[in-house]
Amino acid sequence: MLTNKEEFKQVFQKRLVALHGTEVQEATTQEIYKTLGSLVREYISENWINTNASYKKSGVKQVYYFSLEFLLGRLMGSNLLNLDIYNVCKEGLLELGIDLDDIEEAEPDAGLGNGGLGRLAACFLDSLASLELPGHGCGIRYKYGLFEQKIINGYQVELPDNWLKEGNVWEIRKSDKAVEVKFGGYVTTEQVDGRLSFLHHNYEKVLAVPYDMPVVGYKNEVVNTLRLWSAETIIGNFDAYSISTHDQRKIIEYKRSTEAITEFLYPDDSHIEGRTLRLKQQYFLVSAGIQSILHNHKKHHHDVYSLPENVAIHVNDTHPVLAVPELMRILLDDELLSWDDAWEIMTKTISYTNHTTLAEALETWPVDLMRSLLPRVFMIIEEINRRFCQQVWADNPGNWELLRSVEIIRDGVVRMANLAIVGSYSVNGVAQVHTEIIKKREMKHFYQYFPEKFNNKTNGITHRRWLLRANPLLANVITELIGSDWIKNPTELQQLSKYVKDASFQEQIRSIKHNNKLNLAKIISKECGLTVDVGSIFDVQIKRLHAYKRQVLNVLHIMDLYNRLKEDPTIDMPPRTFIFGAKAAPSYHFAKKVIKLINTVASIINNDKYINDKLKVVFLENYRVSMAEVIIPATDISEQISTASKEASGTGNMKFMMNGAITLGTLDGANIEIEEAVGDDNIFIFGLTPNEVLNYHQVGGYSSWDMYNTHPRIRKVMEQLITGEVAQQAGDFKDIYDSLLIDNDEYFVLKDFIPYVDAQLKAGQAYMNQNKWTQMAIENIAQSGKFSSDRTIKEYASEIWRIR
């Protein structure tokens, strides 16, 4: 139906009339988008049904990837691509006078995530389906995704992201698969048939309704499922005949508080907000997801003892780690298993990924909150803790230090990472250096106790979205040169290494970059009213705004560069366009000040005629997946400048590399593995090493005042933060100034400043030799196959989940 252009045109026009009562010439973009979506979803459904039937028939082990975030972005383009009907639809629509690019633009991003962690989950789903692996997502259908960012007068303003306003063509509501989730109440015990049973009373019931979204594999007829849960009221809770005004008010309140559970995504990245509603979200997801998995398991297998052979449950960070006590609860209270049997099953089923060692991101929940919201689950956590501590003490009598560090409940809080490690059979970090830090430092006691649980799985990105779809020009010349095997097997990109010196390939690479830069320049002009020089270096930092990612270091360098240009406008440097995109958590005061600083510096520099347009600074508002897809292919320099040891992996770094941008970065996260892959000559590395940072943390010895006093250029930019033009209103950037000097610069910005400036200088000089630069770009593309999430998922599948 969609594989033949003429047929496609016919069914398209018919469907447009059926759905919207209109003809092509009169239809709005939204109507055309929805019509195409409806056809594509229909086209998907046969394979979806077949995939499910084949999993059922073969009884093959299934993986469920639990995550509070799935940052999917747009799905039309990647679905058309994976279904191999992109060209038919593109050409068919063109003959009807429609540009498919415009139609893709009509789709709102599914922004159900904050940043890297949520995008990783989305890349993993794409790889699972494309590798024909039986793996599914389990998440929350937030009514509002990550806020929409507007910049007003240089400041971030947050607007609700009403992404479902026009409906969602990709989802199917499955009311018959709804389950109930219980909150609050109290628990009593009772002897029933010689067994202690736990009875839960007076709880509030919430209905969890699943919405399924298809996850389409690349040209392989596989369609897996992303199941997103939505909270609804259970109308049966009320007796329709006895509704007084008082009851009506209670009903309205019940409806409001129930639906609030899945109303919005918490906008903190690498930081936890200890709100009750967030804990409710976590339990809601986990309870609904596990009930539905067990229900399905029991339909096809006699008992729950075989669960670990048929199901793997993976928790993405600690956010869904209540899966541990929830699975125990169901096995104990509903399936009536003994503790030991339940524990055996549970610990063979659940595995966990750690995403951070930042203290402010390690989840803890107050015991009182947990007990009142989830009384039975809390009892189980206490019992897990009691038994575990007893075991540790028996194995290591007298070792208080060990006991203190591994306890799950301590100082009135539940430590979720500890619960995750104790409850799962596998704990993985997301890049080599991150895993080493977990093993040797942050979780060293656990590592000594359970060495066999710990392993590394370096993150990856789907090359289908981030190269094939986002940069079709580049994908095409690669295929012309080395054939199309790299699409199924991305390490084949290494063949490009042979062509680093090939003059005509180099020329193609340059001309594609130029084209992509023109494209981005158009968007910058449209969105910011700013003309940028496509001959300049596009130097890009796009990622969440966070102190450890050090956007401040980037801005201070720009201020310094501007100062130097003012002193000597003739200095020989290639012109530069600095591009930023970043959302700050609405309550993260410091991060919001940094956004204001970037915009202030931008307006000073962009309005200064005397620097001969050698510098431009752009802040693109509302950074998101669909924007990343346009910016990354147009980038020359990829800024990956986090404080060493703080960025667990990074995945933005991989997307840039794959599109031929050169990394300018610290020895942090996956940057280290990128350096190993491309070699020292094809990356610009600077700054403190992870060990140097960790040693400073341990033994001290750093003073940012020393930096300030020794380096006049540092002093100058620091002073500019609090005086004169940059400061504008007095004290505007005093918080940033204070954090760098008064609070001794927790993230070593001033320590790394001079090395960063030097690395920038080197990068600028390298760019002036276009021949050499292009060779570097090609080598980066050639080595990027390792960072495909296909490689990552194959490792998870064989080493953690044991699925085929």
Using CB under 6 A, which residues numbered 620 to 649 contact ligand PLP?
Answer: 624-625, 628
Q: Under the criterion CB under 6 A, does residue 426 sit at the interface with ligand PLP?
A: no
| Contact present, 646 and 140 (Cβ < 8 Å) | no
Residues in the chain: 804
Stretch that binds ligand PLP, among 115-123, 241-249, 297-305, 431-439 (CB under 6 A): 115-123
From the CB of 759, what's the least distance to ligand PLP, in Å? 18
From the CB of 786, what's the least distance to ligand PLP, in Å? 16
From the CB of 650, what's the least distance to ligand PLP, in Å? 4
Cα gap 498→778, rounded to integer Å: 10
From the CB of 416, what's the least distance to ligand PLP, in Å? 22
Nearer to ligand PLP, 627 or 740 (CB): 627
Q: Under the criterion CB under 6 A, does residue 429 sit at the interface with ligand PLP?
A: no
Residues forming a β-bridge with 254: none
Using CB under 6 A, which residues numbered 670 to 729 contact ligand PLP?
Answer: none
From the CB of 669, what's the least distance to ligand PLP, in Å? 8
Answer for which of 650, 660, 687, 764 binds ligand PLP (CB under 6 A) is: 650
Nearer to ligand PLP, 116 or 308 (CB): 116
Q: How many Cβ atoms are within 10 Å of 287's Cβ, its own excluded?
A: 26
Binding mask 533-572 for ligand PLP (x = CB under 6 A): ----------xx----------------------------
Instruction: Report residue 305 CA to chain centroid gap.
Output: 34
From the CB of 625, what's the least distance to ligand PLP, in Å? 5
**Phi, psi (5° rounding) for residue 172?**
-130, 120
Residue 719: helix, strand or coil by DSSP? helix
From the CB of 123, what's the least distance to ligand PLP, in Å? 8
Cα gap 792→125, rounded to integer Å: 12
Nearer to ligand PLP, 650 or 785 (CB): 650
Cα gap 318→443, rounded to integer Å: 14
Answer for which of 460, 652, 687, 785 binds ligand PLP (CB under 6 A) is: 652
Answer for which of 37, 108, 115, 325 binds ligand PLP (CB under 6 A) is: 115
Cα gap 170→42, rounded to integer Å: 10
For 97, residues 6+ apart whose C-beta sits below 8 A from its C-beta are 24, 25
Residues forming a β-bridge with 156: 151
Cα gap 69→74, rounded to integer Å: 15
Q: Under the criterion CB under 6 A, does residue 145 sit at the interface with ligand PLP?
A: no
Q: How many Cβ atoms are within 10 Å of 252's Cβ, its own excluded?
A: 10
What are the angstrom distances between the C-alpha of 743 and each of 432, 548, 551, 734? 31, 15, 18, 12
Nearer to ligand PLP, 227 or 624 (CB): 624
Q: Under the criterion CB under 6 A, does residue 119 sit at the interface with ligand PLP?
A: yes
Q: Under the criterion CB under 6 A, does residue 116 sit at the interface with ligand PLP?
A: yes
Give the type of residue at 117.
L
Nearer to ligand PLP, 135 or 650 (CB): 650
Nearer to ligand PLP, 512 or 627 (CB): 627
Long-range contacts, 367-374 (Cβ 8 Å, 24+): 367/409, 367/412, 367/413, 367/414, 368/412, 369/274, 369/276, 369/279, 370/279, 370/414, 372/184, 373/183, 373/184, 373/276, 373/279, 373/280, 373/283, 374/183, 374/279, 374/283, 374/322
From the CB of 105, what's the least distance to ligand PLP, in Å? 17
Cα separation of the two ends of the chain: 32
Answer for which of 651, 666, 671, 789 binds ligand PLP (CB under 6 A) is: 651
| Contact present, 458 and 353 (Cβ < 8 Å) | no
Residue in the shown chain whose Cβ atom is closest to ligand PLP: 652
Stretch that binds ligand PLP, among 113-121, 321-329, 341-349, 483-491 (CB under 6 A): 113-121
Number of residues that bind ligand PLP (CB under 6 A): 12
Cα gap 170→248, rounded to integer Å: 35
Give me the active site residues, please. 355, 543-544, 549, 651, 655
Cα gap 313→107, rounded to integer Å: 31
Nearer to ligand PLP, 112 or 331 (CB): 112
Nearer to ligand PLP, 111 or 308 (CB): 111
Which residues of this protein are in contact with ligand PLP, per CB under 6 A?
A: 115-116, 119, 543-544, 624-625, 628, 650-652, 655
